[in-house]
Chain A
């Protein structure tokens, strides 16, 4: 697997601190929802930094999308969110990871649990489900700090309306929107019980976000009786 040259062809803000980058990667092979790429940046003096980013959208020819959350004091993410300009090159390696993926042929119900930017690969699954016309029941539980931090808010609202069999529940940890029932809290047992699938339905569960979040949620799920092998995880590291 080698580095390919890519170019920024479009971008859109997802939140005040995150944006989606649309990259054109000549020679890009197909990928599966859940996979990620490594993006490598080179400074004029030859210094390089590489980071992993999940693919946010299903296959679209030579175009790929990633959504990047700005991490305060981070080396790469502030540049990708604020500094990287249309037309400029980066290097991309991928697609990476054959385990944390959802294939449209799969038939079991799916529970997606996201913390912060961990929603990105799960969004790719939701979009791929729609693109494939799959009728597999999907539920997404999405934990964010405040409503302003949520990615893809409009699109998720639309998909819940239009994509039969998709449910989305947000959990707010710092500040909830008006009309949301309950106090802001960390995602817990009650949320998973209310918005998830019981283990008896044998769902496949995908958990993604900062390592601490993924650790806590996967412990919770296994404690509820979901077999560990059906709880797939993607940890973004301490920052996520």
Chain B
């Protein structure tokens, strides 16, 4: 720990008993960005799941919106230590999207407009744990928060919830994504504080 500067508090933050270790609550919704924010028009947007054998399953914006929609309210935990409780989203469950996808893969690599990617086990996208969301707090998801659509996998650190997501490659081997190749954890469970490789 560094030298304490009297009077310095930093951003309002609170510790709460229901937070993962090392996290604090924030009233804001900080915007993190590792590159320029892609602007993806809905009429050219598409979402593609490609299996390990190369079969592709595609949805246009309208096709995705025509699928059954859910409204999850979840807690999110960013690896930069802020957490936000009770956030409400709207979108399609990954169970719905993966239904009918023929695969024996164990891993998924989500990839985004703008070049971002992140890896996670396929089973973490199933069983009501993950969504493709297009609405936050009742409004269209703003581009700086990943709109038109992002992944939402709230039981893992938030970098796994790829912004501007455009598709998912299903893979037999785990393929590290953008942050995972640069030191961040392949799984990223906030409750076990899996921030960095080896944690």
> A residues touching B (Cβ–Cβ < 8 Å)?
3, 5, 40-44, 46-49, 75, 79, 83-85, 88-91
A43-B8, A49-B11 known; 8 other A-B pairs, CB under 8 Å? Answer: A42-B3, A48-B2, A49-B10, A83-B8, A84-B7, A84-B8, A88-B7, A90-B5
Taking a contact as CB atoms under 8 Å apart, the answer to whether B3 and A43 are in contact is: no
Q: A88 is contacted by which of B5, B10, B11 (Cβ under 8 Å)?
A: B5
User: How long is the Cα–Cα vector from A101 to B13 in the complex, in angstroms?
Assistant: 38
User: How long is the Cα–Cα vector from A200 to B11 in the complex, in angstroms?
Assistant: 49
**Nearest A-chain residue to B28, judged by Cβ:** A73
Does residue B100 face the partner (Cβ distance < 8 Å to A)? no
Taking a contact as CB atoms under 8 Å apart, the answer to whether B11 and A42 are in contact is: no
User: How long is the Cα–Cα vector from A91 to B8 in the complex, in angstroms?
Assistant: 13
User: How long is the Cα–Cα vector from A48 to B1 in the complex, in angstroms?
Assistant: 9
Interface bits B97-123 vs A (CB < 8 Å: 1, else 0): 000000000000000000000000000
Q: Show 18 A/B contacts (Cβ-Cβ < 8 Å), sorted by A.
A: A3-B2, A5-B3, A40-B2, A41-B10, A42-B1, A42-B5, A43-B9, A46-B1, A47-B24, A79-B7, A79-B8, A83-B7, A83-B8, A85-B7, A88-B5, A88-B7, A89-B4, A90-B5
Interface bits B23-53 vs A (CB < 8 Å: 1, else 0): 0100000000000000000000000000000
What residues on A are CB-neighbors of B11 within 8 Å? 49, 75
**Nearest A-chain residue to B31, judged by Cβ:** A238
In the complex, chain B residues 152-191 whose Cβ is within 8 Å of any chain A Cβ:
none
What residues on A are CB-neighbors of B7 within 8 Å? 79, 83-85, 88
Give the total of B residues in contact with A, Cβ under 8 Å.
13
User: How long is the Cα–Cα vector from A5 to B5 in the complex, in angstroms?
Assistant: 11
Taking a contact as CB atoms under 8 Å apart, the answer to whether A89 and B5 are in contact is: yes
Taking a contact as CB atoms under 8 Å apart, the answer to whether A88 and B2 are in contact is: no
User: How long is the Cα–Cα vector from A47 to B25 in the complex, in angstroms?
Assistant: 13
- Nearest-CB distance from B14 to chain A (Å)? 11
- Nearest-CB distance from A50 to chain B (Å)? 9
What residues on A are CB-neighbors of B6 within 8 Å? 85, 88
User: How long is the Cα–Cα vector from A79 to B5 in the complex, in angstroms?
Assistant: 10
Q: B8 is contacted by which of A3, A5, A42 (Cβ under 8 Å)?
A: A42
What residues on A are CB-neighbors of B3 within 8 Å? 5, 42, 89-91
User: How long is the Cα–Cα vector from A90 to B9 in the complex, in angstroms?
Assistant: 13
User: How long is the Cα–Cα vector from A85 to B9 in the complex, in angstroms?
Assistant: 14
What residues on B are CB-neighbors of A5 within 8 Å? 3
Taking a contact as CB atoms under 8 Å apart, the answer to whether B8 and A41 are in contact is: yes
User: How long is the Cα–Cα vector from A5 to B2 in the complex, in angstroms?
Assistant: 9
Q: Which 9 A-B pairs have the closest CB atoms?
A: A42-B2, A41-B8, A46-B1, A41-B5, A89-B3, A83-B7, A47-B10, A75-B11, A43-B10
User: How long is the Cα–Cα vector from A207 to B12 in the complex, in angstroms?
Assistant: 34
- Nearest-CB distance from A25 to chain B (Å)? 13
User: How long is the Cα–Cα vector from A91 to B1 in the complex, in angstroms?
Assistant: 11
Q: Which of B1, B8, B11 has most A Cβ within 10 Å?
A: B8
**Nearest B-chain residue to A90, judged by Cβ:** B5
What residues on B are CB-neighbors of A44 within 8 Å? 4
Q: Which of A40, A43, A91 has most B Cβ within 10 Å?
A: A43
Taking a contact as CB atoms under 8 Å apart, the answer to whether B4 and A42 are in contact is: yes
What residues on B are CB-neighbors of A79 within 8 Å? 7-9
From known contacts A41-B8, A83-B7, A84-B7, infer whether A47 and B13 are also in contact, taking CB-CB under 8 Å.
yes
- Nearest-CB distance from A145 to chain B (Å)? 24
User: How long is the Cα–Cα vector from A163 to B196 in the complex, in angstroms?
Assistant: 54
Taking a contact as CB atoms under 8 Å apart, the answer to whether B2 and A91 are in contact is: yes
